[in-house]
């Protein structure tokens, strides 16, 4: 294993993982010296009764959440972040609990920047390492298993007026605590379970094969890949399988911790653009693009993909293969997995089936080539290559 001359790894998130894990939230808040939490969630999560489950966890604890803001829209829009920050201040809150998917958790990260720095302008904090000092106590309770936002230093927030997604990147934004409880994900429908699970798999594979990989992120990524290989199909077939749900939540967290330190690469660069231009859900874009981006990267990432195969399959199934054969078999495995998911829950396997139009390609290419995720990609990338990948995935 090659050890980089220099690398950093940071994950300060305390993890609570298991059945009834949400019942420990009040104890964790007390540890954080907080007693006036604001709960952030969205309408879907509220209707599913998941916000109430978190509220009920406070019964008899001596802490009563001050308020619930239950109207976080998709894509974490900038104007909503300001509104929630005002709500937080008006209610004299002292901490945040995000109950939701990536948009809710990223919104909470944005709100936490504003309320901790006493600012009204989130634009002052766009980019890398603009958030200084310790933020307010923050607990993330993910209701999907995919974005890994509960374990990452990134928040993606949308400027809806300028139609751009902005990245805020700082270790100070990591949640203090992440709570993985299978009760919070068991009502996810199969196609969202599949798409978000594939997002986690892409995080792990891209972290493991990218130019910024390091031994510590490799450990997290390889464990995530093994767990996803064992549990994704079972949990898509039976969402009430609580053990598989908990396994996928752990995989998502570990994949998040891996890419938070080693970054993601080409699949995400193109996928971000496909999402922004053609409004394809992130996990769907990830699953469609992954095999095509791996094929492009095959030569430079051959040894990584060969190792990834050993996490995906039993050792007796791969032991006779050369490194080159293992790397190709890794891509074949992903393609077979996508065909199976398509059969089970209609997860699209082509961009054309996911709503992308050929006339979108030029704008997608222009955005993708400027995405930061191009930088750690193992193989050279230019506009022509991205267009070819889009054609093939169409």
Q: Does residue 176 bind Fe ion (CB under 5 A)?
A: no
What's the min distance (Å) between Cβ of 167 and Fe ion? Answer: 12
Q: By C-beta, is 65 or 291 nearer to Fe ion?
A: 291
Task: Name the residue nearer to Fe ion (CB basis): 114 or 249.
Answer: 249
The C-alpha atoms of residue 135 and residue 114 are separated, in whole angstroms, by 9
Compute the distance between CA of residue 75 and CA of residue 168 in angstroms, rounded to an integer: 14
| Interaction of residue 28 with Fe ion, rule CB under 5 A | no
The strand order across the sheet containing 67-69 reads 14-17, 177-180, 138-142, 95-100, 37-40, 67-69
CB of 175 to Fe ion, least distance (A): 17
Nearer to Fe ion, 202 or 331 (CB): 202
Minimum distance of Fe ion from residue 88's CB (angstroms): 28
Instruction: Give the residue with the Cβ less far from Fe ion, 77 or 275.
Output: 275
Q: Which of 186, 173, 94 is nearest to 140 (CA)?
A: 173
Least distance to Fe ion from the beta carbon of 99, Å?
20
Q: What is the CA radius of gyration of the chain?
A: 20
- The CA distances from residue 91 to 42, 52, 69, 83, 94, in Å, are 19, 20, 11, 12, 9
Q: Which is nearer to Fe ion, 39 or 178 (CB)?
A: 178
User: CA of 78: how far to CAs of 68, 72, 104, 106, in Å?
Assistant: 19, 11, 12, 11
* For Fe ion, the closer CB: 65 or 281: 281
CA distance 252 to 13: 14
CB 207 within 8 A of CB 269: no
Could you say which of 176, 181, 199, 206 contacts Fe ion (CB under 5 A)? Answer: 199
> Measured from the CB atom, is 109 or 136 closer to Fe ion?
109
Q: How far is the CB of 325 from Fe ion (least distance, A)?
A: 29
Q: Which is nearer to Fe ion, 78 or 270 (CB)?
A: 270
Of how many residues is the chain composed? Answer: 394
> Of the listed pieces 136-144, 152-160, 193-201, 304-312, which binds Fe ion according to CB under 5 A?
193-201
Cα(80)–Cα(95) distance, integer angstroms? 18
In the complex, the smallest distance separating the C-beta of residue 372 from Fe ion, rounded to whole angstroms, is 13
Shortest approach of Fe ion to residue 142 CB, angstroms?
13
By C-beta, is 69 or 208 nearer to Fe ion? 208
Only one of the segments 10-18, 51-59, 74-82, 191-199 lies at the binding site for Fe ion (rule: CB under 5 A); that segment is 191-199
Q: Check binding of 150 to Fe ion (CB under 5 A).
A: no
Please, what is the minimum distance in Å from the beta carbon of residue 180 to Fe ion?
A: 18
Footprint (CB under 5 A) of Fe ion, residues 306-345? none
> Smallest distance, Å, CB 223 to Fe ion?
18
Candidate segments 113-121, 130-138, 192-200, 329-337, binder of Fe ion by CB under 5 A = 192-200
Task: Report which residue's Cβ sits closest to Fe ion.
Answer: 199
Q: Which stretch binds Fe ion (CB under 5 A): 16-24, 120-128, 197-205, 322-330?
A: 197-205
Choices 108-116, 173-181, 195-203, 211-219; region in contact with Fe ion by CB under 5 A? 195-203
The minimum distance between CB 152 and Fe ion, in angstroms, equals: 10
371 sits near Fe ion (criterion: CB under 5 A): no
Residues touching Fe ion: how many (CB under 5 A)?
1
Closest CB to Fe ion among residues 85, 337: 337
Which spans of this chain sit near Fe ion (rule: CB under 5 A)? 199
């Amino acid at each position: 294993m090659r050890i980089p001359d220099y690398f950093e790894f940071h994950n300060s998130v305390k993890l609570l993982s298991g059945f009834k894990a949400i019942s420990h939230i009040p104890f964790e808040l007390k540890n954080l010296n907080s007693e006036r939490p604001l709960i952030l969630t969205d309408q879907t999560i509220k209707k599913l009764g998941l916000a109430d489950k978190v509220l009920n966890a406070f019964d008899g604890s001596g802490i009563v959440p001050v308020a619930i803001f239950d109207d976080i829209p998709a894509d974490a829009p900038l104007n909503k972040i300001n509104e929630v920050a005002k709500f937080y201040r008006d209610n004299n809150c002292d901490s945040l609990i995000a109950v939701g998917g990536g948009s809710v958790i990223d919104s909470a990260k944005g709100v936490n920047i504003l309320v901790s720095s006493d600012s009204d302008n989130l634009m002052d904090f766009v980019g890398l390492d603009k958030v200084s000092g310790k933020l307010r106590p923050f607990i993330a309770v993910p209701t999907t298993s995919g974005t890994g936002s509960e374990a990452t230093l990134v928040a993606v927030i949308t400027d809806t007026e300028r139609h751009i997604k902005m990245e805020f990147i700082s270790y100070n934004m990591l949640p203090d605590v992440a709570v993985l409880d299978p009760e919070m994900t068991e009502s996810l429908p199969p196609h969202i379970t599949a798409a978000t699970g594939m997002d986690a798999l892409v995080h792990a594979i891209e972290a493991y094969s990218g130019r910024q990989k390091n031994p510590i992120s490799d450990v997290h990524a390889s464990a995530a890949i093994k767990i996803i290989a064992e549990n994704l199909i079972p949990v898509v077939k039976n969402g009430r399988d609580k053990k598989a749900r908990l396994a996928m939540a752990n995989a998502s967290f570990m994949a998040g911790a891996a890419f938070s330190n080693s970054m993601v690469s080409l699949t995400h660069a193109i996928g971000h653009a496909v999402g922004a231009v053609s409004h394809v859900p992130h996990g769907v874009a990830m699953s469609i693009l992954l095999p095509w981006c791996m094929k492009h990267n095959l030569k430079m990432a051959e040894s990584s993909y060969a190792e990834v195969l050993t996490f995906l399959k039993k050792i007796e199934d791969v032991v006779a293969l050369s490194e080159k054969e293992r790397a190709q078999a890794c891509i074949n495995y992903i393609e077979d997995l996508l065909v199976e998911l398509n059969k089970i829950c209609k997860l699209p396997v082509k961009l054309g089936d996911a709503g992308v139009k050929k006339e979108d390609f030029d704008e997608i290419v222009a955005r993708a080539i400027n995405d930061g995720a191009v930088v750690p990609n193992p193989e050279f990338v230019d506009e022509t290559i991205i267009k070819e990948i889009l054609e093939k995935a169409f």
